[in-house]
Structure 1
């Protein structure tokens, strides 16, 4: 038997607008498709294991990128060569029902699948092309991988192009891709096509080339490259500028050109990226092409046309009258041609044609040839075999080829040749579906071999966040600095964020620095100075106490209640020393002692001052005849006052410490660049209750002393107490707002300073005048002077 494979090829196309002698313009690159078909048929016929006792043949018809031409070719398959009479064909020796590719309108598509209206139409379409969704998702991943979010789109104005715009581009938008422009190219195959290009193409080209988008996705077919070359040539001719865009082309496209475009520059695709159906080299294909020439392949009518247009010459027996043309020898070498004219290696489209023939043969071999009209489609859908390259070939349930896509990088050379370099892949069945080798990519010359940037505006650098521009796409935004306390450590973040605990933003707000732990220590100047001041004041207090002990029998010491004086001086000395508890690394014991020592020692001091003041008043009242105050005069009253006040403060401290004792803790948030290690106050109510009680005692002491300031006391101690309480109250009244307005270790410093200054105020105001008399004016420290001053007062 003799079986025919019919191929509707696109090597010759009609152009009515071109002013030339012949109505045909040859696309020499597509002759490889015919060679692939012939090579596959030859391999099958030479293989005794495939279709034994059957010879495979083929007929090729030219579609001319036109639906009408395709329909005419289909009718010719069912008719005579001269007259279109369906189902009657008298000039062939083969069985008419054995024309494989149009039986029941069965077709194998090696480019993009046509848009079908019904499932019945799809039943007779077998795609030698993977599921297009994988390609579109691969383009999306490629754009996202290189952060090309501001792109242009050019598509062919046909059903597939419309489907791409309506169904695919919205998915791109959802993933953050914005479009600077979406332009359509007129469909080839009509006499008005190039008229539309001339009318519309000029404005469209200017808009595309002047756009801020550096990346353009081109969705088209094999013939789309013809239009692109025309557009880029127009731009270069009119503006003197080369293409400055990076092209990303779909797998349906391939390099094609007219003879008149042969001398045009092909730099417009240098560095471009395209998708291609995954393919491998076909063993023996290169040699098969090399051996083809018009002398050995006289039956190949396409070869004659191809040869004359490829080598720009005429074969001796040509019937076309072309003046000023040289004659061909027929021995010209195809491998001397640049790739822009003809490629010797099988392209992805040729590889698919090669696989299509083998798929039909394996389907035929798997079925009963006597009834293959009804069964061919089912067997073709279920076919599975390994080709000569060792790759498995099969189809999914929708009739699409189960394969992936290669990502191709186009590299051009000055001799009008180019290389297709595989730099990545899309394989939905692989563990890593998307792969790309950035180092292997040659970028367009306009990017100076660096990664092109295609953004609506510059990236927001770390330290800034994106802010929406009203009325603009989401890819167009303002860059706003991060608010204080927040950072952004990547480009184009939508929002800034806070650093983790223990870290703080640097000055540029683009990273976090670790915070250092700080506390008021003896190693720093402030801590050392306060410690020295506390020790100095405690030493002065001890010195004053020693002076009063040494002169305990002098009138001035006796007159001011020696026991209260000693108690007050000892409490002042301890208050100076308790300030040292606030310096150094806080620990649980020191935090507890801080509150206890501060509250109890100051209570003793202030209550002693209060007792001295009350005793002065009572002593004066008791000197009057018949006064009942005499029974209150004595040590018992002073002791009772001090012990009562201390007992009340002890109760306040005990309750506060039992509810919430102080403890060391890390303050992460008070200071920007440091973690403050300090003592927690425990219960704030307890802390301010302690201060409140001390304030109450101080106010009572000040009030009593103020009322008694004019009493005829021999050494005018009431006046000194009044002034000392004024200083004491002023210090602690100013302490509260100052303490609340400071941060970190300086809060501790404020507390220490308040302790030292209030204690020093009591020491200086009450004891320095007496010490002055004892040490400098001893003549005033005698009984006669005391009696004389009493009389003068009375």
Structure 2
């Protein structure tokens, strides 16, 4: 109790020092001497309450902020709401989002819990548990065990203590009864009162605690006044003599009841306070004591302001009885603190309980609360906040933070700060810890494997360097060379029956158009350009139409030649004419008309498809008008179908070199390829779509080459005896 007695006695000495300084300073209250009366708050409650409602050095209740209900109340310490804001900012500064809370069973505790809950929610933190400390623990004997179980069970490494001063002993009793797990404790301004009840269990558990205390203030001259003070000057002040007796375990001569056999030490009044065990309080920069000192000066300056405003200017020497000349409302009007509260400035202290009853209090930072939305926190980065229980700054989270590349996902039935981590899907990324959402990458980019960044998508097109592109190019060149070789064979054997029998000119046109068809596929390979997109479909359509129309003309030539041999046939006049060439030209003009309409209305263009494939940008030719594209395919298909029908009808004509059967089979291959191409083309994307069309071109052209000219080359080289005029039954 010596420490508790000294704490309040120190406030009293600061009070006396302020009065003595004011009374000796002629500049503040000339010709006025301040006096004082001290009332025991237990014995004279009304007097104590009346004094507290004028100016208070320590009352922190926020209700007194109401200037309408309490117009004459002024405090020299910040209110408890500012203290709560400061503690919340400390939690926010260190990223502690999973916090335990112990409050006192009174208005202060419940107000604190409500404000803490709201404030923590504002930055996505939450309370891991909330326990209420009862004042009369002898009645509520189970509640201490419940609090201990909450502390032992929680995964929070940080616990906030927000209790009233009168609950200090209940708090100390809790720590003396149980082996409290090692945590980081954040305490309010009640914490210095714990020093009165120092116990080994309490010191072990609370070692390294952080406490938010009102900012220190220096009282100049107080140290000399402190050590030079003697109660002999205040013999009528029972508070002084009673405290002196408790501090030095002596008694002043007076009427007391002495116990026989006990030795009593007489107080002289010359004892020095430096002999008392007061090292716990450190130097003479005080907190609450400084507020007592400033409260007296606030009242003195209010009186000074009041009388300075009254004429005449030399009225100070005429004042005789201050009590009869000043009303309380006049003093209230003279106080210049509009809101009745000082600036909320706090120091952050770290308490270390050392051996030999020593306590190290180290200031590690400060908090300046300008308003509930404007709070500044500074913490000394060189301080090891984890000592002695943790290495470095402890973490206090409901779960491990979500690493970059993932996002938070709400955990059903759990508080808001408890969540699961879900990896970002393809095309999304997060590059910070605990990202609430994954960010979608731009269309031309994709997420990397770690999902922490967006990287450019690869440009995809059918390249000559790709395995598929190089393979198709090789096949194209091989087929082109094969067709050129067949053309060379036909030119070499130009006058042989088998070449002459099947219309030499149409055969050459067909072979040349097939060569061009093979070369057209090269327009589909490589990086698409606007020129290639414009040329490749119409060029292929025109050249391939010549090929199919040549086949149709060859078939019609066979039919005309066979029917012209019949008596009275009118088809004789068409034998040997240029009808077949005209037919090829007319069919080609039809194809040209469709192509010109396509180019004029909605021509193809280069397009970057960023949607079809998540990892690639498909650089492709947009056909512009799908209708025109399939019209070209349908036009060639119609010619092929007519050729198939005509060849099927002429397949049994009696001619040794009749190629109608070969044309029938070639058109069957042609139609099968392009019927299969349509669904394959529509279901493909990017380079696979281009490859499907190239395959259809090569397959159908190869079918024409192989089915029509393969048997002729076979006869020319392997059955030359059949390539004679006399073997023919009928020459076309």
TM-score by length of 1: 0.79
1:563 to 2:542 alignment: no
Matched, 1:232 2:175: yes
Q: Which residue number in structure 2 is paired with residue 365 of structure 1?
A: 304
Q: Structure 1 residues 109, 701: closer, same or farther in 2, change over 3 A?
A: farther
Moved more, 579-588 or 289-298: 289-298
Q: Residues 117, 715 of structure 1: CA spacing in aligned structure 2 closer, same or farther, 3 A cutoff?
A: same
Per-residue deviation, 1:470: 3.5
What does residue 376 of structure 1 align with? 331
How many residues get paired? 709
Distance 1:720 1:470, change over 3 A: same
1:247 corresponds to: 185
User: d(CA) in 2 for partners of 1:277 and 1:508?
Assistant: 48
**Is contact 1:149-1:177 (8 Å) kept?**
yes
1:51 matched to 2:12? The reply is no
* C-alpha separation in 2, matches of 1:30 and 1:642: 119
* Residues 553-587 of structure 1 deviation map (CA, whole Å, 9 limit, x = unaligned): 22211111122211111111111111111222221
1:261: which partner in 2? 198
Larger displacement relative to structure 2 (292-301 or 712-721): 292-301
8 Å contact from structure 1 (residues 109, 125) kept in 2: no
- Residues 338 and 635 of structure 1: CA distance in aligned 2, closer, same or farther (over 3 Å): farther
Q: Give the C-alpha shift of residue 511 in structure 1.
A: 3.3
| CA 1:601–1:307: 2 relative to 1, 3 Å | farther
* SS of equivalent to 2:178: helix
Q: Secondary structure at the match of 2:155?
A: coil
2:210 corresponds to 1:273: yes
SS at match of 2:340: coil
Secondary structure, aligned partner of 1:213: coil
Conservation of the 8 A alpha-carbon contact between 1:568 and 1:609? yes
- Counterparts of 2:642 and 2:221 in 1: how far apart (Å)? 114
Matches of 1:335 and 1:549, distance apart in 2:
129
Q: Which digits, 9 at most, give the CA deviation of each residue in 1:198-222, with x for residues without a partner? A: 4422322322332223322222233
Judge conservation of contact 1:290–1:334 (CA < 8 Å) in 2.
no
Deviation at 1:112, TM superposition (A): 0.9
Q: Report the secondary structure of 1:688's partner residue.
A: helix
1:496 to 438, 447, 472: 438
1:683 equivalent in structure 2: 625
> Closer, same or farther in 2 for the Cα pair 1:448/1:630, shift >3 Å?
farther
Partner of 2:74: 126
Matched, 1:106 2:54: yes
Q: Is the 8 A contact 2:187 2:210 kept in 1?
A: yes
Residue 654 of structure 1 corresponds to 596
Cα distance, 1:302–1:676 mapped onto 2, change above 3 Å:
farther
Mapped partners of 2:596, 2:687: distance in 1: 26
Partners of 1:473 and 1:430 lie apart in 2 by 24
Distance 1:327 1:681 in 2: 114
User: Which stretch of structure 1 is more off in the superposition, 475-484 or 778-787?
Assistant: 475-484
1:300 Cα deviation from its structure 2 partner: 7.9
Report if aligned partners of 1:226, 1:258 keep a CA contact under 8 Å in 2: no
Distance apart, 1:417 and its partner CA: 0.7
Q: Pick one of 144, 150, 164 that aligns with 1:201.
A: 144
- Describe the superposition over 1:754-786 as per-residue Cα deviations: whole angstroms up to 9, x where unpaired: 222222222222222222323443332221223
Q: Secondary structure at the match of 2:194?
A: coil
Structure 1 unaligned regions, length at least 5 = 1-11, 13-23, 78-100, 188-192, 237-241, 383-394
Distance in 2, matches of 1:762 and 1:163, equals 93
CA distance in 1, matches of 2:444, 2:493: 58
What residue number does 2:12 align with? 34
Which secondary structure does the structure 1 equivalent of 2:128 belong to?
A: strand
The CA distance in 2 between the partners of 1:661 and 1:324, in whole Å, is: 119
Q: Which residue of 2 aligns with 1:692?
A: 634
- 2:318: which partner in 1? none
Q: Tell me the residue number matched to 2:104.
A: 156
Structure 2: where are the runs of 5+ without partners? 308-321
How many angstroms apart in 2 are the aligned matches of 1:552 and 1:619? 20
Superposition deviation, residue 646 in structure 1: 2.0
Tell me by how many angstroms 1:399 deviates. Answer: 1.7
CA distance in 2, matches of 1:398, 1:765: 104
Asked if structure 1 preserves the Cα contact closer than 8 Å seen for 2:349 and 2:361, the reply is no
Question: For residues 671-703 of structure 1, what are the alpha-carbon distances to aligned partners after superposition, in whole Å with 9 as ceiling and x for unaligned?
Answer: 222222222222222222222222232233233
Query: 2:659 matched to which residue of 1?
Result: 717
Partner of 2:558: 616
Distance across 2 between alignment mates of 1:675 and 1:125:
73
The 1:202–1:690 alpha-carbon spacing in structure 2 relative to 1, beyond 3 Å, is same
336, 340, 359: which one pairs with 1:399?
Answer: 340
Structural mapping, 1:239-638, within 5 Å:
242-250=180-188, 252-257=189-194, 259=196, 261=198, 265-286=202-223, 288-289=225-226, 314-315=249-250, 330-331=271-272, 333=274, 337-339=278-280, 342-368=281-307, 370-380=325-335, 382=336, 395=337, 397-415=338-356, 416-428=358-370, 433-437=375-379, 439-445=381-387, 448-638=390-580
| Matched-pair contact (CA < 8 Å) for 2:210–2:348 | yes
2:165 to 222, 225, 236: 222
* Distance change >3 Å, CA 632–CA 210, structure 1 → 2: same
Structure 1 vs Structure 2 CA RMSD:
3.7
Distance 1:287 1:529 in 2: 101
**Secondary structure of 1:256's aligned partner:** helix
After superposition, the Cα gap between the structure-2 partners of 1:264 and 1:690, relative to the gap in structure 1 and judged at 3 Å, is: same
Q: 1:509-559: per-residue Cα shift (whole Å, max 9, x none)?
A: 343232232322233333233223222222222222222122222221111
Seen in structure 2, the aligned counterparts of structure 1 residues 678 and 473 have a Cα distance that, compared at 3 Å, is: same
* C-alpha contact (below 8 Å) 1:209/1:245 kept by paired residues: no
Q: 2:417 & 2:23 partners in 1: Cα distance?
A: 57
* Partner SS, residue 657 of structure 2: coil
Give 1:459 shift: 3.1
Residues 233 and 264, structure 1, Cα contact 8 Å, conserved in 2? yes
Partner of 1:19: none
Deviation at 1:710, TM superposition (A): 2.7
Contact 1:29 1:257 in 2 (8 A): no
Deviation of 1:225 (Å): 4.2
2:45 equivalent in structure 1: 71
How much has 1:288 moved relative to structure 2? 4.9
Query: SS in structure 2 opposite 1:711?
Result: coil
Residues 250 and 264, structure 2, Cα contact 8 Å, conserved in 1: no
